[in-house]
Structure 1
Amino acid sequence: MADIWMPQAIKVDLGDHAPCDPGFPPKAIAHITADRDDATAAHPKDLVPFANLQGFFSGGGKGIAPHILWNPFTGTFAQFFPATSRSKGLFEKQGGTRVNRAGKVVLQIEALFFPFCRVNGKVFATLADTPCKGWSELNGFVRSWGVPDAWPMGHPNGFTSNRSEHIWETKGGWYAHAHVPENDHVDPGSWPEFVATEPFPGAAFFHTGQKSPVIAAMHQRLVTEGCNQYQASDVLDVWEPDDVKSYAAWQQKLGFSGHDANGIPGESSWEQLQVPHLV
């Protein structure tokens, strides 16, 4: 089962959980915080601190809080609602479609960004220009809830609106705030491309002596994630006992336990590991 709390995120549970509507397909909604609207190329403004936005959404901004606040410059996350609950980042018209709930999940992501923000002396015109740190982990978490890597109404490209209630109600995937019925926002303006990852090869693939570049790529990701139980003598591309130990450490990091942390990859943990696709 997928985690309801993103393992990499600071957990700031606001309570007030409410179910989503599984009669609609799973969705993710892309927002930007747009904290300042007076920044220009000629007059950029410093990025608002992450802590300010975390404090806002856990305080006076509770009524419009998303699921996840993401800092694309540092890869820091804060999560305010579990994945199984609706969040509150979308305007809902009285008597209309309850857009915050319209999906098996409706995962709302607020990227800490506004056009022409300045970070460490460098100016960024679009979100896609930023380092997008943490995007692979975020993309993996959203995938684990069955949200496909697709933009049913088109990848965000500029601050323009384009809305279709029929598509919204019938297609799963990622939507810009600018795509959501009953809303008038035009964000996020841009968004990073989906992360190409190696598909899950099945649990039977992972047996003693299996040799594959996929195992080498997995090995490197486990080390990066701080789940390194390897010895210098281990063979990088061969499945060995230390792969089991390292993968079990990854499963435990994700919150799995018992048989679910036995060191044999499962589909959910594999998707969240984000092993790069091998061409």
Structure 2
Amino acid sequence: MPELWMPGATRLDIGDHAPTDGGTAKAIGHITWDRNATAAKPADLVPYENLRDYFGKNPAGRAVASHILWDPFTGRVTQFLPANSRSKSLADKPGGTRTNRAGSVVIQIEALFFPYCRVDGKVYARLVDTPCKGWAELNAWVRSWGVPDEWPMGQPQDFVSRRDDTVWRTKAGWFRHADVPENTHQDPGSWPAFTAVAPGGGKPATGGAATYVPFPGATWFSMGRKSPVVAAMRKRLIAVGCNRYQSSKDPDVIGSGDKASYEAWQRKCGYTGAAATWPPGKTTWDKLQVPK
């Protein structure tokens, strides 16, 4: 039985526990976004204690608390509700999907962060730019509740909403706040890569973050997308003997050569027919081991 309260987290039980509805196990990534800042006008990060007190002590905060408040700069974690309770941090309109309850668990994580926050004189534009301390332990605990290391609507890369009611209802995994039906927020913008799993266990392997790029979701592989991940994928496809590239131009932009080469890789993995066609799937992506 997984732990209702994350080991190592400060427990600040706000009460008002209530069950979830069952279904696919989910986790939701949020950022606190408690100040608006820009590259030209960064702002100091709000103290962790302020948010902890808001969610845990202020009666108004009890209506919006997630399960977890996580400080990616220090690794501090405070938990306000047990994993098997719903929280109240998602908008939930009457008559629709019960967003806060739509799964066997719906574990919600608030990362203490906003774009262009300033900590010890340094400005951080994205959550993934922070030290992400404590993420390995947090990821392992969420995983222990049956939440797979997948983003059904794509790895957070931006602040664009991609809500899909069918995916939300039927898929397990991690969702951005921006992915959730009935909600209008567009966070978190980015999120750290999933951590490695030690052989035979759910604890993170020694060394912290995984060596390889996690599967970003099928929708990420759109023609014309530019990313260093594309260039890394290309190198791996060539290395495993699936070079179908006709040009060395723009190696970091998805094009027809990537499609042909990846389909060759899928066939090499034993897939045929429609299962061997673009876009990539998680199984073959994980086997390819695209390095960070």
Q: TM-score, normalised by structure 2?
A: 0.69
1:70 aligns with 2:70: yes
Which digits, 9 at most, give the CA deviation of each residue in 1:47-89, with x for residues without a partner?
A: 0000000000011311010000000000000000000100111
Q: Which ranges of structure 2 fall in alignment gaps of 5 or more residues?
A: 212-288
1:6 aligns with 2:11: no
Q: Take 1:8 and 1:160, find their aligned partners in 2: how far apart are those partners?
A: 34
Q: Which ranges of structure 1 fall in alignment gaps of 5 or more residues?
A: 201-269
The code of the aligned residue for 1:104 comes to S
Alignment of 1:57-206 (within 5 A): 57-58=55-56, 59=58, 60-200=60-200
Displacement of 1:10 after TM fit?
0.7
Q: Take 1:186 and 1:40, find their aligned partners in 2: how far apart are those partners?
A: 16
Q: Take 2:84 and 2:195, find their aligned partners in 1: how far apart are those partners?
A: 24
More contact order relative to length (CA 8 Å, sep ≥ 6): 1
Q: Check the 8 A contact 1:140/1:274 in 2, yes or no.
A: no
Alignment of 1:235-250 (within 5 A): none
Q: Check the 8 A contact 1:168/1:180 in 2, yes or no.
A: yes
Displacement of 1:274 after TM fit?
4.0
Q: Take 1:152 and 1:176, find their aligned partners in 2: how far apart are those partners?
A: 10
Displacement of 1:43 after TM fit?
1.2
Q: Check the 8 A contact 2:32/2:114 in 1, yes or no.
A: yes
The code of the aligned residue for 2:96 comes to G
The code of the aligned residue for 2:47 comes to P
Name the structure 2 match of 1:27.
26
Q: Take 2:198 and 2:80, find their aligned partners in 1: how far apart are those partners?
A: 30
Q: Take 1:63 and 1:4, find their aligned partners in 2: how far apart are those partners?
A: 20
Change (3 A) 1:274 1:19: farther
**Matched position secondary structure for 1:100:** helix
Which digits, 9 at most, give the CA deviation of each residue in 1:16-62, with x for residues without a partner?
A: 1000111x20000000000001x111111000000000000011311
Displacement of 1:271 after TM fit?
1.3
Displacement of 1:199 after TM fit?
2.8
Q: Check the 8 A contact 1:70/1:76 in 2, yes or no.
A: yes
Identity of aligned residues (%): 60
Q: Check the 8 A contact 1:5/1:82 in 2, yes or no.
A: yes
State the aligned residue count. Answer: 208
The code of the aligned residue for 1:111 comes to A
User: CA RMSD, aligned part only?
Assistant: 1.4
Q: TM-score, normalised by structure 1?
A: 0.72
**Matched position secondary structure for 2:70:** strand
